[in-house]
Structure 1
Amino acid sequence: MTDAPTASAADGVLRTNDGVPLKITLRRVTRRQRLIALALVMPLFAFIMVTFVGPIGMMLFRAVDNPVLQEQIPRTVALLNETWDGESAPDEAVFAVLAEEMIQLYKVREVAKVGIRLNYEQSGLRSLITQTARTVARRGEPPWMETFIAIDERWGEPETWGIIQQASPRYTLSFFLAALDLRYDWQGNIVEQPEREQIYVMMFGRTLWISGLVTALCLVLGFPVAHLLATLPMRQSNILMILVLLPFWTSLLVRTTSWIVLLQTEGVINDVLVWIGLIADENRAQMIYNQFGTIIAMTHILLPFMVLPIYSVMRTISPSHMRAARSLGATPFRAFREVYVPQTLPGVGAGSILVFILSIGYYITPALVGGRTGQLISNFIAYHMQKSLNWGLAAALGALLLAGVLVLYWLYNRLIGIDKMKFG
């Protein structure tokens, strides 16, 4: 406990009983309190850095990291950049260095890495690299230029060497270009991907469309439910709240597969429609493995995330506001529209942005019920991470998705104000 301050007759400075100026003592106490607070916060800070900031940083780095050619054929890349004029095939020295490095890679079974990386730029180069390395390692001999061109005529074309040169820098934007359906040509110009390979811009558009529609449906369905919960007596309200929370107690996988049972061609809903005569048995509706199935299942799963924020705000609105509006001559609808609804906007905003952000990155439900037309961009990110192993493209797609969410968050803040958002 700090001693009571006393005033010094000599200089008029307040001091403690031990003679230390009071200002210094207070500074020490404040510093100690800050260190204690920092020590308490550090575990949470470390957890956020390891589980959130770190993975995002690694993802952003992966989107521009391009080490394969620099690590596997460094001498070929260096010599190609120094001596090749870009007009024809390089000279014999480049072929000789490439042959030597290919033989080494073939012996350690790593030549496929070079082929996979170049195949991202142009289809067919993986087989070219692996076939050439195998032939050169087994029976290749100088002059290497003639040997390479004899194996495949593409080694004599400047286009092949231009692709190798464009894929050689340690850091590249080619993955971001691919995520936007663009690419570098062999001369370094940015061009569009072939039409049959233009898919990612369309997938981003589909993801935004489905996420916006799911958010709107959740708002239309959730607002009346939240209003009912907020206005009913507590006993009935608690019972309904249990029904709202019940989906959280059921596995997401179970809820999604339940929709498969309901919506499939031989499912419950189609059977009922046939039984009551609305559709013929041979004209059963296709409600699953398409966008319709994705939208229905996602709306059902994300609906509680819209209801709860709106309900938490509605519970704080006093019923006297509506009564006052009615007493001043407003009709029930006008009082609801002009008095009640504006007070619910913080909850509506919180629920909408929560549902939209969850929708835009949804993976399991579209994977199970989406089929070909109901897939979202997250499904393609997972595909490149797990199957094609193109982590650079997956990271670029994820980075663009993150940037889009941040832009939408910024627009929301500018138009509505993030300070008006309330979750309870």
Structure 2
Amino acid sequence: MTALCETADAPIAPRALKRRLRHAERRRNLLFAALIGPLAFFVLASFIVPIASLLGKSIDNPEVHGNLPQTLALLEDWSGDALPDDATFASLAHELTQAAGTPAVANIAKRLNREQPGTRTLVMRTARGLPLPEGTPAREGLIQLDARWGETQTWHLLRNAGGAFTGFYLLSAVDRTVDADGNIVASPPEEAVYLDVLKRTFVMSIVVTAVCLLLGFPLAYLMATLPARHANLLMILVLLPFWTSVLVRVAAWIVLLQNEGLINQLLMWTGVTEAPVQMLFNRFGVYVAMVHILLPFMVLPLYSVMKGIPPAYLRAAVSLGCPPLRSFWRVYFPLTLPGIGAGALLVFILCMGYYITPALLGGPNDQMISYFIAFYTNQTVNWGMASALSVVLLAATLVLYGFYVRYLGTPNTDAR
């Protein structure tokens, strides 16, 4: 302390020393910020911003709100018991006339049709009939174009779909909707599909994760106990699938599993089966290909944890009279739980987002939630529904990660 507080001439005052220490701490923090700044910017630009944008699109509702602002403003004071006043009819006729012939009409029609099927024809027929003949009252003119403008239900639908933000997509992603009274209720059975898809995604991910764990645990244990030369050879074999693309591996399984493929030919040649076994375009083919692709993601975390467990623990337990199998279960296995948790979490999350393998090897009842996200993104261009399903998938992932951090994130030290 004396060396810090003294110079060659005189001691440094405590206040000056504190100032110098704060200055040194500030310089060190600025240096750290400069070092991690590029990485932080990259994560922000490529990860945080896209996710935030995705979350925003799941509740964004611009189609009606942005194209019929005056009509929606008038509907805010509407009681809902009878038809709106003439000013509201005139405003709707005016705004639809301005939007006629532009993509805005199609966007309005598509958004309303999502709330109630069949409404698209209402909007498009009305837009084609506008502008109204001069001197025709807007109320009578719109009802003549389509009688549904004379029903209060249509105006309720327009007002409900006209908010700047909506929970429609998020509710639809969990098979829920809002009834005429504003209550959240279950979707009709013919429209309730997403909970079944989410359940199927969870079940398939659990099965693939369990199979990867059953196959990967003994392999990782063998690699951790073998000499380095043999363990390195096994490591090369484990990493071998990474050297080819997913499409190539899926195509290879198609060749192997098809009715005239090598596996069926081998089964019939050995007399195990008399006819080809259907292994493609069903759940079995999806499981086989996904386990083959994701097995390394289970083996590597397990191997890294097992490699750090001293072999002396098992020898000490056996020398104290504990049987080998019980020693393994009571001493070694608890120490591998962080590796099991990390591998299972990694494999499960990757399974949840799989798209190519089920699409190529599975049937209609084997598609996972990522298939529907791609469908709404690429084919129907329904960004709201695609974003809502992505939010559900992200929420499930965060729940799993929280479970891992809470129960499997730290080693179990009781066995030590």
Q: What residue is the counterpart of 1:211 in the other structure?
A: 205
- Distance of 2:368 and 2:162 partners within structure 1: 32
Is 1:420 matched up with 2:415?
A: no
Is 1:42 matched up with 2:37?
A: yes
Is 1:193 matched up with 2:191?
A: no
Contact 2:175/2:187 (8 A) holds in 1:
yes
Q: Which amino acid aligns with 1:6?
A: E
- Distance of 1:160 and 1:307 partners within structure 2: 58
Q: What residue is the counterpart of 1:143 in the other structure?
A: 137
- Distance of 2:134 and 2:220 partners within structure 1: 75
The Cα offsets for residues 283-342 of structure 1, whole Å up to 9 and x where unpaired, read as x33222222222221111110000011111112222232222222233332222222222
The equivalent position to 2:353 in structure 1, one of 353, 361, 367, is 361
Is 1:54 matched up with 2:45?
A: no
Q: TM-score, normalised by structure 1?
A: 0.90
Q: What residue is the counterpart of 1:178 in the other structure?
A: 172
Q: Which amino acid aligns with 1:123?
A: P
Contact 2:132/2:138 (8 A) holds in 1:
no
The equivalent position to 1:313 in structure 2, one of 295, 305, 311, is 305
Distance 1:140 1:367, change over 3 A: farther
SS at 1:183 equivalent: strand
Q: Percent identity?
A: 48
Contact 1:115/1:127 (8 A) holds in 2:
yes
The Cα offsets for residues 100-132 of structure 1, whole Å up to 9 and x where unpaired, read as 111111143421010111111111212221121
The Cα offsets for residues 361-403 of structure 1, whole Å up to 9 and x where unpaired, read as 2222222222211111111111111111121121111112111
Distance 1:352 1:78, change over 3 A: same
Q: Which amino acid aligns with 1:182?
A: R
Q: What residue is the counterpart of 2:400 in the other structure?
A: 408
RMSD: 2.4
Q: What residue is the counterpart of 1:6 in the other structure?
A: 6
The equivalent position to 1:304 in structure 2, one of 266, 272, 296, is 296
Contact 2:113/2:119 (8 A) holds in 1:
yes
- Distance of 1:380 and 1:329 partners within structure 2: 57
Contact 1:88/1:156 (8 A) holds in 2:
no
Structure 1 runs, 4 residues or longer, greater than 6 Å off: 138-141
1:177-326 equivalences in 2 (<5 Å): 177-281=171-275, 284-326=276-318
Q: TM-score, normalised by structure 2?
A: 0.92
- Distance of 1:384 and 1:92 partners within structure 2: 38
Contact 2:5/2:11 (8 A) holds in 1:
no
Q: Give the count of matched residue pairs.
A: 410
Distance 1:96 1:138, change over 3 A: closer
User: How much has 1:141 moved relative to structure 2?
Assistant: 6.8
Task: List alignment gaps of at least 5 residues for structure 1.
Answer: none
The Cα offsets for residues 115-169 of structure 1, whole Å up to 9 and x where unpaired, read as 1111111112122211210122486972333332333322222222111111111
Contact 1:263/1:270 (8 A) holds in 2:
yes
User: How much has 1:226 moved relative to structure 2?
Assistant: 0.6
